[in-house]
Structure 1
Amino acid sequence: MFAAASSFFARSNISQNYNVGGPTSIVGSRSGTPAQGSSSNPGALPTPANTPAFLVGPWKVQSASHKTTNKRVSVWTFDKKSSELEKMGPAGKERTLEVLKSEATSLSRLRHPCILEMVEPLEETRSELIFATEPLMSSLYLSIPNSNHRSPLVELDEVEIQKGILQLCKGLSFLHTSARLIHSNLSPESILITNAGDWKIGGLGLTIPLVRADGQPTRWEFPTFDGRVMPYIQRSFDYMAPEYALDESLNTASDLYSLGCLIYAVHCKGDPPFKTHGSLGGLRDAAGRPLTGISGLDRDLQSMLNAMITRNPTNRLTSSSLPSHSFFSSLPISTLNFLDRSNFAAKSREEKISFMKGLTSVLDRFSEGLRVRKILPSLLEEMKDSQLLPYILPNVFAISRVLSPTQFAASVLPSLKPLFAIKDPPQNMLTLLNNVKILQEKTEKAVFLEHVMPLIYNALESEHTVVQEQALRVVPDLCESIDYAEVQGVLFPRVALVFTKTKVLTVKVATLSTFLFMVKTLDQTVLTQKLVPLLSKIRTKEPAVMMATLLVQEAMGFKVERESVATAVLPQLWQMAMGPLLNVEQFHKFMSVIKKLGDRVEREHDQFLRDSQRLEDRSAVPVSGAVSNTVGGGVNFENLVGRGDGATVKQDTAINGSSKEWDEDDVWGSIFSSEETVSTPTISPPPVTQTASLPSTPVVSSNATLRPTIPGRNPLGAKPIPSSSLNSSAYNTSSLTTLNSAIPSLSPLQSSNSFSSSKSTSNYSAPNYNPNMAQPLSQSNRSNGTMQPSSIQFGSFSQPMQPTQHTQSTFMAPNYNVSLPQSNPISAFSSPPPQQTPPPFFNAGMGVLSPSKPPQPTWGSMANKPSNNDWGDLDPLG
């Protein structure tokens, strides 16, 4: 409980309201702590996460952020229980605490841009002293180039050193004239460098007022140096002016002497001009001696040091005259002075515009760190003036190239977000569009889509042509980086809207150029359904538009389907190729593309038809009732289902124990009642005599499909019956005569086929239902047992066919394509008995007049007579 209570009372307001702490490594000071920590990017903007803690004398400086506002600060902490303090006696402890408290109190009282700014006042607990200042990166002591105690926190170049010296001059001028104070302890360790790269004066614990509170001049105190006390709370004799120790005088010029020694140390690896070893005698010996080791420095710098490090204070440069020295007359320094907040605000708008135009050309003369830490923040502050934005933004983006995405998002992006929605002046949008690539590289994808893409959409809707053209130039790069859904659903429709609305030729061409790049990104469906119809509406004859369209159509013609190319792309290209304003070279380009796309359509469609035919041939199934003995591309079916030893399957036996192939009660068994040996008919193309109005009779092959040549449904609606061979003895001539007279309009669409049978004893042909056929088969075409059609003339329906035309052995055959299987024993035609009329139905499979019911056994010769219902399903009108 006591420990908890002690911990509670030991807590300060700063520790309660701030998240204190960065990297655990600590960079040492001249008090003896060695330099530690990892190297950081000199151009990086520090954050609480990447700024290590460092020491300034006994103070430990840590980065921190406010828990509510997230404001960044640096927290200074002194541990009262440190080992160094414990080694001191009571007087030493008291003196140390007095100086440290005085430093914090002076910072809280003094307010100047070049004086370290205090954010949270000093708090004292049982265990520590703590206060907070503006965020810091390092002290000058730890940042001197090439010094032995340097830590890689800040990289200083000559321009930044000059800029820092000028800031110290301003701070000293404030102390001397306004605050009426003498710093009296100016050294590299009392100069702090902020996150913005500014040099700030600290170490104010030993300041001497020129006048006391009662108005009397302050009395001089003899300087002493005690090795048992921390050097930080004592005046350094290496940087002390000789008149203070030797002449016992208090003069503001003493700080200029100390500043001269500081400038010397910065340029000479951290070593002061004279080493006194903390003794008054050493200071007395060094007074009046000329400076050594400056021969390698710049002449202006040598001149300035000789004018500052002198024995006589009246001969020294003052804080007001020092900035005008020739050492500070370089262009980079003049640029920084002009950009300084106190000077830049007083300039006219014309002067500011001229300055921003010229700044772009001199940025490369500044170090990366100086550009990031000093110039960039100043530019971001001036972005509040919208009239200056077109001239400030190029400089901002030039500096932002070296920033990491995290730094860009933290420092630059918040100032740019309000600009993405502003359309006027158009120069702002142009500058932002020119730097979209940087914005895309430095921002996360979600942030880019949310904040930067509205800039592109606003630019596409702009009234200014130059803005629209620039936005269209940016779109191709975006198509390759942003999500496809954003391109298809938002970006492409907006570009298409510009294409349809614009009446400016350059914008139209720029839009087509954008489409050319978008073809690579958009899928086939979007191109076919949206872009192809959009381009088909082009009616202009301008060669620039036509040639740009040609490029788009060429790229799209090899990506969309061939049907779209044939029906939409090629017709438009042909129409444009006939444009009257095209020259010969442009016409040839059109023809070249037309030939390429035409070849593609021909090649792919030819292959498509071949593939379709091949698939149809593979899937064809015989319909004649015969079953092939091979399956799966040549595998013998009998061997497949037989035993594994290669034995064959026996021939089919009689059905139902009958020795005949068909049962007597079966209707087809009654037709095929002949005991005659069945043989496969031989089919050969007979000679045909044709007229001009009738095509040649097709040859019927033995493996042809048993179906009419008329596609689709049966024209009369008749149902097919199972395929078989018919016995002509089943029907008589009178039945045929009755049917011919009852249905005079039925006719096959093609001429009859010819058949031959090696076992036929008489010649016959199938009935002809076409009354327009004038001539029956001639006797000359029926020689040698082969049926051949005679010359057929098509005429008008003026002479109906008479029953007398059908003789005992002659009748017309309907034109059906008949497939005659070779292996089925019932597929051959049986020879009709002599003196009998062949049946009126030759095609048993899919004839036009095929009844849905199988015919009953024999008319007239059988006991069962035909009834009225036998042909009840025949519908002549189908």
Structure 2
Amino acid sequence: MLAAATTSLFGKSSSLSAYTIHTTPTSTPSSSSLNLASTQGQPSKRKPLSVGLWKVLSGTHKTTGKDVSVWIFEKRVIDGVRSPQLKEIVLETLRKEAQSLTKLRHPDLLQITEPLEETRSELTFVTEAITGSLSGILRDLSENVHGPGSDRNRGGSAGLEVDEVEIQKGVLQVSRALSFLHNQAKLVHLNINPDAILINTKGDWKLSGLTHITPIPSSSSSANQQKYVYPEVDNRIPSQVQWKLDYLAPEYIIDGPGSWGTGVDVYSLGCLLFAVHLGGKPPFRNNGSIQTATTHLEQDLVQGSWRGGRRWQEAGDEVRDLLPKLITRHAQPRLSLPTLQSHSYFSSLAISTLNFLDPSNFASKPREEKASFLKGLLRVLPGFSDRLKRRKILPSLLDEMKDVYLLPFLLPDVFEICKTLTNDEFAEVLPRVQPLFDLKDSAQTMLMLIESIPMFAQKTSPEVFRKSVMPLIYHALESEHSNVQEKVLGAIPSLCDNLDYSTLQDILLVKVAIVFTKTTLLSVKVETLRCFLAMVTILDKAVLTQKLVPLLAKIRTKGELRIMATLAVHEAMGMKVDREAVAGLVLPQLWAMSMGPLLSVDQFGKFMSVIKSLGNRVEREHLEHLRAIRRADEQTSTFAGASATAPGFSMNGGGEVDFEALVGSKGTTGGSNGAANGSRGVQGLSLDDPWDRTDDWLASAPATSSTRPAVNYTPTHAPTTPTACGRLKARPVPASTFNTAAFAAEPAVSRPNNAMGSMNGIMQSTPALPPPQVQMTRAPLSPRPAGPNYNISLAPQAPTTSVFGAAPSLSMGTSMMASKPMAMNTTPSTAAPPGWTNSGGMGMGGVLQPTRKIEQASNKKTFNDADWGDFDPLK
């Protein structure tokens, strides 16, 4: 309903349209927030208050961002008052309160921002922002009375607290407001009670509740008679707008017209002070009865029975001395307001400090006097409660920060108070301090800000610290004052762990490196090295190797402090970067620095210890690396040897696995068995790489012998008869080498369906050639015989005619080949076949050569032994 009423109000009030009203509470009025959110453009939202019949909502000006309080009275609240005359009395009382505040202006009176506006359903006006009323504090005090031995802090269920200094300060503020009313405005308040004392966001007590304000009576009795209003309590109207008999002076209740004056407000102030110190209740409870009030004032007040008891003893000597001078039956013995303010109760050092710091007083002081006060304030701050420091002292100090001259004296006090703030409260202070981060010229101010960097890091989140506080560090590193650079460099190592990696590597490292390069001061150079040492544990190997190691190599001086600081950085880097960087970059620098002439024996021993430690690391890791390489080579050799002897595997000339043989894609024309056997070739030997002659094999193979599609291929030489095995091919030999007359034509042989038949067909259709020279392309893993012995018997055979002319052919022993598979005996043998001799001896690399010279045609070229080269008849 309240939100709906507020919404409807916007369309009726022109003044309220300039404000944003917060109808959703986010905190209680007892919040200890500094309420500086207006400086950040974010309004402070508080729970709606009830002050009398008024509902007080928090609001914010849309343009200035200033926090305000919007007072709303809904006329439907008095719908229960049947009499229109009584309704009008209530409305007139409320109008009088708002209108009186509009006419009267004083720092200790509630400040009006927008005057009273009335609609058919509401009365509204706007004041400065308030957080609560004294009645709320006293209500908590009455429900939570402290026992013996408790401290002077007062608190309640809502979390409000009030200490002695705050009470003293508040009573003084109310007394100054009353002095203004009595002396300047010539008015008497007549309604001093806890509901009339409001507390603003700074903790100041503001006087309000001007519902019964009356001009001071003159000497004329007729005039006094006209101004006097009998304090009758009418139960037909709300109690909030009636007389407060518990706080009203006896001369006004009992003596009547002509006997009262400004002293009635002093009596009411004494009852208020009594309630604050003694459980939240006034001296007498009259329950709205004039008769009861008369009895208490005539008897109990005179007899002094209101004094005494446990609470009275807890009030303190000064309070017990002051109250009897205020709460009296008659006005003559009472203290006047000027005398009241000079009482010893208000003469403590804390009160004097707050009075001096009051904006109305502090602004008129000369700079030198302000500076002396601010230096002494740091000593007395521990005597104030945290609440008073947060809500009263700190805002006053922040308001003075516009004077650059006072900053060196202000900042220590500000940061001392900030230590007691929560993170949320400090978030409201930081925007007020942040503009000072750009003051590069003031070295003293920069030094104080840098000293508070740990506190900034503790009170802010990492993101806020990076955006708001890191600019202070950057500006300090760029400062022309060496003491500022040295101070900020000393603060950086403690921050490295809390910074994100990109900020540390891309910004902070670069700026520290610039200082390292440009500075000529030993102390600054050493501090930069300490920063590098803190960064080593965070930066990665690449950054250390590419940036930091070369940077340290630029050190030319041989000062022992600088060298020893560099040694610490190198030692930390040497344990993190790769061994190659240690061996090639770090160790040479350490050896060069260790030759410094200013080093002592102990310092040189430290260098040697680090050098040996890093050298041992390089030795250990490099040995492990070399052993790992050797193990990898051994595993590769083992795999190659196992593959060469395993069925279905073969090794090519480079020692690699023959992939076609592995997957069985060679020799597929003869079926699975034929592929397996045909791809094996000479077991245990690596002959040639089949991938090099795949096109030749496809060109010479018949279309019916393979499942692959036909390939149009025109060879540049006469084709030979295709083999069933892709690894064995016959190379054409010029006909001039042989005697064509000795051979007869041989009929074509059809391709068999199995591997052995395929081999027979190959041997029968291949021209007779000299035996091949077989070589091992990789050393075997196990000992083998010294040389091959194919043990192939050769028999004369009729010559065949090829495209090159008459060419001899080898006879493989037809009768033997027809009866059983060809046997390839790999056992070494010293005997050569008949008609042939082994020119290479008994090794594997021997070459079989004919024992007799072959006759050649007269028109053919003669070949000698060297022309055979590495001819392999099996290819």
Instruction: Quickly name the TM-score band, shorter chain normalised.
Output: 0.7 to 0.9
Residue identity in the other structure for 1:588: G
Partner of 1:251: 261
What does the per-residue CA deviation read over 1:149-198, in whole Å, with 9 as the maximum and x for residues that have no partner?
96625311111111111111111111111111110111111100111111
Q: Which residue identity lines up with residue 426 of structure 2 in the other structure?
A: F
Tell me the residue number matched to 1:333.
Answer: 351
- Label 1:345 to 1:844 Cα distance change in 2 as closer, same or farther (>3 A): farther
Report 1 or 2 for greater relative contact order, CA contacts < 8 Å, sequence distance ≥ 6. 1
Q: Give yes or no for contact 2:10–2:16 (8 Å, CA) kept in 1.
A: no
Corresponding residue for 1:495? 512
Among 580, 583, 592, the residue aligned to 1:575: 592
> Does 1:20 pair with 2:35?
no
1:292 maps to 307
1:833, CA displacement in angstroms? 8.4
Counterpart selection for 2:228 from 214, 220, 227: 220
In the alignment, which residue of structure 1 is the partner of 2:207?
A: 201
Q: Secondary structure at the match of 2:198?
A: strand
Distance 1:238 1:46, change over 3 A: farther
Q: Which SS does the other structure have where 1:238 is aligned? A: coil
Deviations 1:405-449 (A, max 9, x none): 443333x12211211111121121112112223323444544433
The equivalent of 2:760 in structure 1 is 658
Deviation of 1:825 after TM superposition, in Å, equals: 5.0
Residue 551 of structure 1, CA deviation: 1.0
What displacement does 1:203 show? 0.3
For residues 190-245 of structure 1, what are the alpha-carbon distances to aligned partners after superposition, in whole Å with 9 as ceiling and x for unaligned? 10011111100000121012279x99776333322222222222221211112223
Contact 2:188–2:261 (8 Å) recurs in 1: yes
Per the alignment, residue 109 of structure 1 pairs with 103
**Deviations along 1:779-835, whole A, 9 cap, x unmatched?**
xxxxxxxxxxxxxxxxxxxxxxxxxxxxxxxxxxxxxxxxxxxx9856957656899
Partner residue of 1:147 out of 142, 162, 175? 142
* Letter of the 1:128 counterpart: E
Change (3 A) 1:553 1:216: same
Mapped partners of 1:315, 1:724: distance in 2: 140
Contact 1:192 1:200 in 2 (8 A): yes
> Structure 1 pair 185/669, CA: closer, same or farther in 2 (3 Å)?
same
Residue 81 (structure 2) aligned to one of 77, 87, 98: 87
Contact 1:61–1:75 (Cα < 8 Å) also in 2: yes
TM-score, with normalisation over the residues of structure 2?
A: 0.73
Alpha-carbon RMSD: 4.4
2:430 to 389, 413, 419: 413
**Match for residue 53 of structure 1?**
48
Shift of 1:64: 1.7
Letter in 2 for 1:274: F
Aligned to 1:477: 494
Q: Distance in 2 between matches of 1:843 and 1:488?
A: 67
Q: Could you tell which deviates more after superposition, 384-393 or 140-149?
A: 140-149
Mean Cα displacement is larger for which, 304-313 or 111-120? 304-313
Which of 103-112 and 661-670 deviates more? Answer: 661-670
- Matches of 1:501 and 1:670 in 2, distance apart? 77
Q: SS of 1:546's equivalent?
A: helix
Distance between the aligned counterparts of 1:252 and 1:203, measured in 2?
17
Give 1 or 2: higher helix fraction: 2
Of 223, 230, 233, the residue aligned with 2:241 is 233
Distance in 2 of aligned mates of 1:624 and 1:164: 100
Instruction: Confirm or deny: 8 A CA contact 2:135 2:194 kept in the other structure.
Output: yes
Following superposition, the deviation at residue 7 of structure 1 comes to: 5.5
- For the Cα contact (< 8 Å) 2:35–2:44, is it kept in 1? no
Between the aligned residues of both structures, percent identity stands at: 44
Q: Give the structure 1 partner of residue 570 of structure 2.
A: 553
Q: Which runs of 5+ in 1 are unaligned?
A: 26-36, 673-679, 682-699, 707-722, 728-822, 848-853
Contact map agreement 1:726 1:830 (CA 8 A) in 2: no
Q: 1:626 to 1:507 in 2, by over 3 A?
A: closer
| Secondary structure of residue in 1 paired with 2:610 | helix
* Distance in structure 2 (CA, Å) of the matches to 1:334 and 1:573: 64
Summarize the alignment of residues 141-180 of structure 1 with structure 2, pairs less than 5 Å apart: 141-144=135-138, 146-148=141-143, 152=158, 154-180=160-186
d(CA) in 2 for partners of 1:831, 1:873:
22
Instruction: Determine the structure 2 residue equivalent to 1:455.
Output: 472
Mapped to 1, the partners of 2:648 and 2:168 lie a distance apart of: 97
* Structure 1 match to 2:370: 352
Partner of 2:797: none
The CA distance in 1 between the partners of 2:605 and 2:516, in whole Å, is: 27
Report the TM-score, using the length of structure 1 for normalisation.
0.72
> 1:534-572, CA deviations, whole angstroms, 9 ceiling, x for partnerless residues?
112222221111111111111110100001111111122
Change (3 A) 1:648 1:536: same
CA contact (8 A) 1:671 1:857 kept: no
Contact 2:275 2:282 survives alignment (8 Å)? yes
Residue 322 of structure 1 pairs with residue 330 of structure 2? no
**Helix, strand or coil at the partner of 2:514:** helix
- Matched AA of 1:207: I
Q: Out of 608, 613, 630, which is 2:625 matched to?
A: 608
User: 1:255 Cα shift?
Assistant: 0.8
Secondary structure at the counterpart of residue 492 of structure 2: helix
What does 1:666-681 align with in structure 2 at a 5 Å threshold?
667=769, 669=771
Structure 2 residue identity aligned to 1:16: S
- 1:147, 1:270 within 8 Å by CA — same for their partners in 2? yes
User: 2:409 matched to which residue of 1?
Assistant: 391
- Conserved in 2, the CA contact under 8 Å of 1:625 and 1:824? no
Distance in 2, matches of 1:387 and 1:871, equals: 105
User: Which deviates more, 555-564 or 535-544?
Assistant: 535-544
Residue 865 of structure 1 and its aligned partner are, at CA, apart by: 4.3
Q: How many equivalent pairs are there? A: 710
- The residue aligned with 1:508 is 525
Give the conservation status (yes or no) of the 8 Å contact 1:54–1:61. yes
Q: 1:861 aligns with which of 836, 847, 854?
A: 854
Identify the match of residue 342 of structure 1 among 351, 357, 360.
360
Aligned to 1:376: 394
Aligned to 1:65, what secondary structure does the other structure show?
strand
Alignment pair present for 1:619 and 2:636: yes
Give 1:88 deviation, angstroms. Answer: 4.4
| Secondary structure in 2 matching 1:384 | coil
* Runs of 5+ consecutive residues of structure 2 not aligned to the other structure: 38-42, 145-155, 650-657, 665-670, 684-754, 792-822, 871-875
2:648–2:662 contact (8 Å) kept in structure 1: no
State the one-letter code of the partner of 1:167: Q
Aligned residue among 591, 595, 606 for 2:608: 591
Asked whether the equivalents of residues 263 and 334 of structure 2 are also in contact (C-alpha less than 8 Å), the reply is yes
Q: Work out whether residues 577 and 590 of structure 1, in 8 Å CA contact, stay in contact via their aligned partners in 2.
A: yes
Q: Deviations over 1:82-123 (max 9, x none)?
A: 1x4423422211111001001000111111110001111111
Give the equivalent residue in structure 2 for 1:242.
Answer: 250
Secondary structure of residue in 1 paired with 2:113: strand
Pick the aligned partner of 1:126 from 120, 124, 139: 120
Which residue in 2 is equivalent to 1:362?
380
For the 8 Å contact 2:489–2:531, the answer to whether it is kept is: yes
